[in-house]
Structure 1
């Protein structure tokens, strides 16, 4: 094992260097500004400037931050990770995503973050396009500082906006209640992951329908209750329409029967970062790959917004509160529901899911048949035959998921029929182009 690690070190180092070169090619700063920044590095920081840097307390959740930096499919995380030191690259390579980073790993992370604050502006309009910037950050972006205190303020504000649950903003006041019970919650989620793995090994790789099926054979039922849950796992707002039918459970199980198809589609985009269990009290997610990470803009990864059926479920919950029993019975309720489906599923989710699947088809073709295959007549013919099948499969899965969530009766109404018609047009060749 030691020999393998030693042999791979030059490869990792070369990868880091290549990443940095690529990003340097994309930098838009003038040579003069770069020189000014370099000179700034050589000067000692003023005492008041040092106070703007991160300290240990400002890294609120180091484990979650490392997980998000590992997931370089998120453009902004890919850029930030590429700027980190070789030591930090090794940490990203080896971190398991579930344990607490060691004190030494946290020191390296802290040092790298503070270097980032001083290295030049991190802002790029494309990288931060899907990040909701605070008013303070927007003001600093407009000022476009190139060095000094204002630059550090800008970069720290940008990082806090990208990772709001992991990094504290300068103006943020933290209290112990912000983290109350979170370590117990983390341990609960680790126990749930181990129980799920054991269950699947005994059940032909299938997931249980509900988390309660894991107790008591695979874990203690107490693990299902988050210490921050005042209801002790009783059904409530956070688990509306998702309550475990057998045992009190604080956690949202994303592979429950009504969610299974949608989660399989989401996994096509998010891979092993797809959440399978979520704690809404701590905004903490357990992913398919066993990683623990907090909510926030990192869920807007793969160049997408907060899309898909999980967001439709949130919209549906809000509409039910607004319309009550009249949601499906009144024209106004059905029209509001139709608008939500159009915006969240038809306009956002499907096009980006299709794009992800198309890219997967292209990647597989190039992997198996060579880089130039897509430009050849044979490659173009394969794509022409494959994509209609992909579109048909997405249409069937989306329609099934919508009918499961909303009921077949809705699709007998004018609003429901119109949604199905739009879905058919969208998934045709003409609708996609």
Structure 2
């Protein structure tokens, strides 16, 4: 009798345990299913090659952090990827696995790390909820990565058409062919660059590779950027080292290195870099959006203000104030300091090469360095003035708004300031 009662109690306990487990499983299964739906799949990786290139470029805080969290296998992928070919199926599988592992881990969000990222409203709402785990945290991490790499990773609501995918692959192949042609041209011309991409055809490149499949105008009038169309052949790719821009671009190379774009597709936001890598634009660093700097960028601001408000707007107080703010940001705070820093490093390098590394630490070395820097001050002044006039025009500089810019630059263009930088 006792054994029967004991068996009954055990059965009741087992029944209760099974019921509890069933309830727990019932609660967990929808969560697991929901979590699975939030993970990346192959289709969600819109441009794995571009993503790998950006993870290689760890100067960006977000990419630096994510790269540090990757597996050893993925580190080898970063080390071995050449930046121009389509990643192999194995490389993509490793990347996909690591991305999904990151989604299911701790929160990727850090205010400082994402300070320069334009976050979507959905992402901001999820951050405000301060989720610590579960499906909501996976969703937040997915949204964060899609905001950081909008051209590489699909958002949860995004659908990529096969037509769009095919178009960008054709464009990518065009840029590969342009890279090959540039390499061959440089090899045959003492490392010199062509003035225009049309100079590559027909000897080094079939002209058909100058046309993006997304362009409905067949390369005429050419690129979207004003005054940048190829003068010889229909061409839909923006050549950043054309004659009017080459000097400024060479200065940019010393600051941004081999990630500086030299050929751009403005339709697909696809770039061929100085180092021969292909990557898409993105919000995490200025270089992924535009490699224009200094007076070239300021000229774009002037054109944009003209288009939005009309040419008379710049003569108003509000227009002149906006232009002053743009000059302050693009020229005073960004362009000139970078240029002077690059120049200072170059002079120091030359002095060290001739007189030894420790020489600059001596009083005589300091004096020589100051003298050398002062001597090139007038050259810097001339260069800035030439660029200012070439980008904005002599007539513009005679206007009140043009004189505003000259007034802002007057201190920076003085030899005294340059000599004591």
Interval containing the TM-score (normalised by the shorter chain): 0.7 to 0.9
How many residues align? The count is: 388
Q: Map 1:322-361 onto structure 2 (within 5 A).
A: 322=308, 335=320, 338-339=323-324, 341-350=326-335, 353-354=338-339, 357=342, 360=345
CA distance in 1 between counterparts of 2:226 and 2:247 reads 19
Give the superposition deviation at 1:217. 1.1
Question: Equivalent residue of 1:256, what SS?
Answer: coil
Partner residue in 1 for 2:75: 89
Q: Map 1:98-177 onto structure 2 (within 5 A).
A: 98-177=84-163
User: Using a 3 Å threshold, how does the CA distance of structure 1 residues 245 and 337 change in structure 2: closer, same or farther?
Assistant: farther
Q: Map 1:273-312 onto structure 2 (within 5 A).
A: 273-300=259-286, 308=294, 311-312=297-298
Give the superposition deviation at 1:106. 0.3
Partner residue in 2 for 1:321: 307
User: Using a 3 Å threshold, how does the CA distance of structure 1 residues 150 and 311 change in structure 2: closer, same or farther?
Assistant: farther
Give the superposition deviation at 1:267. 1.6
1:62 paired to 2:48 = yes
CA distance in 2 between counterparts of 1:358 and 1:261 reads 14
1:266 paired to 2:252 = yes
What RMSD in Å do the two structures reach over aligned CA positions?
3.6
Give the superposition deviation at 1:172. 1.9
CA distance in 1 between counterparts of 2:291 and 2:184 reads 34
User: Using a 3 Å threshold, how does the CA distance of structure 1 residues 359 and 157 change in structure 2: closer, same or farther?
Assistant: farther
Partner residue in 1 for 2:7: none
Partner residue in 2 for 1:412: 398
User: Using a 3 Å threshold, how does the CA distance of structure 1 residues 408 and 310 change in structure 2: closer, same or farther?
Assistant: closer
Task: Point out the more displaced range, 207-216 or 236-245.
Answer: 236-245
CA distance in 2 between counterparts of 1:76 and 1:85 reads 17
Partner residue in 2 for 1:199: 185
CA distance in 2 between counterparts of 1:120 and 1:388 reads 53
CA distance in 2 between counterparts of 1:180 and 1:245 reads 29
CA distance in 2 between counterparts of 1:427 and 1:96 reads 42
Question: Equivalent residue of 2:386, what SS?
Answer: helix
Among residues 30, 33, 39, which one is paired with 1:53 in the alignment?
39
TM-score norm. by structure 2 comes to 0.80
Partner residue in 1 for 2:15: none
Give the superposition deviation at 1:205. 1.8
Give the superposition deviation at 1:416. 2.4
TM-score norm. by structure 1 comes to 0.78
